Amino acid sequence: MRKVRKEKVLLPEPRPTVLKIKRRAMTLILRESRIHSCGCYTTAPIRKGTRVVEYVGERLSNDQADDLYDDVPITYLFGLNSGKHVVDGYGVAAFINHSCRPNCETDIIGGRIWIIARRDIERGEELTYDYNLFDGEEDAPCLCRAPRCRGSMYSAAHLRKMTRARAKAARGPISPLSGATIGSF
């Protein structure tokens, strides 16, 4: 039988796949805010659902935070585990102001705090999220200027709780015998 030389089929060299990913650099800057002092702004558009920035900082117990920030009006604390721990922020995320109609929200993913776009955000917009403060007795007035601003950085639930506590305090203590309010007549 004739030996037929098999024609060598030259296969093209495998070429590395070059994925052309068009990425617009997202840059966050800090500058003066109409809401409060300094705010965080984006220099590029951000798509809804994007993890914009991580809220980084030192993790403290509540007692440590109380010792550090007792009587300090501005804090950079982010509450975790229903307030059992806090993160004392030091990155740009710590400068994001509160709004009652925010363009971002927060989520804890794998133990890390992320600021996430809750809608498409335009270039030049200030980033905001709802602080929903849940701890404290002093007023925390909100200056966000949103059409339906609730007037406070506290959550609606905490505001109801404060209103009930203040109403109870105004009524005075209840007599254990009669159930009547003890007052001066």
Ligand X SMILES: C[S@@+](CC[C@H](N)C(=O)[O-])C[C@H]1O[C@@H](n2cnc3c(N)ncnc32)[C@H](O)[C@@H]1O
* Residues at the site binding Zn ion, with contacts judged by CB under 5 A: 100, 142, 144, 149
Please say whether the beta carbons of 129 and 98 come within 8 A.
yes
Give the C-alpha distances (Å, rounded to integers) separating 117 from 14, 126, 140, 185: 40, 12, 25, 58
Query: Quick count: other Cβ atoms within 10 Å of Cβ 167?
Result: 9
Angstrom distance (rounded) from CA 160 to CA 130: 17
Taking the complex as a whole, the smallest distance from the CB of residue 135 to ligand X amounts, in Å, to 13
**Contact of residue 97 among Zn ion, ligand X, none (CB under 5-8 Å per partner type):** ligand X
3-state secondary structure of 60: strand
Taking the complex as a whole, the smallest distance from the CB of residue 183 to ligand X amounts, in Å, to 37
Residue 92 sits in the site that holds ligand X (CB under 6 A): no
**Contact of residue 149 among ligand X, Zn ion, none (CB under 5-8 Å per partner type):** Zn ion
**Beta pairing class for 97-98 and 128-129:** parallel
Residues in region 116-145 near ligand X by CB under 6 A: 142-144
Of 46-54, 56-64, 97-105, 107-115: span binding ligand X (CB under 6 A): 97-105
Angstrom distance (rounded) from CA 76 to CA 10: 64
In the list 17, 37, 81, 82, the residue contacting ligand X (rule: CB under 6 A) is 37
Residues near ligand X (CB under 6 A)? 33, 35-39, 73-76, 94-95, 97-99, 142-144, 153
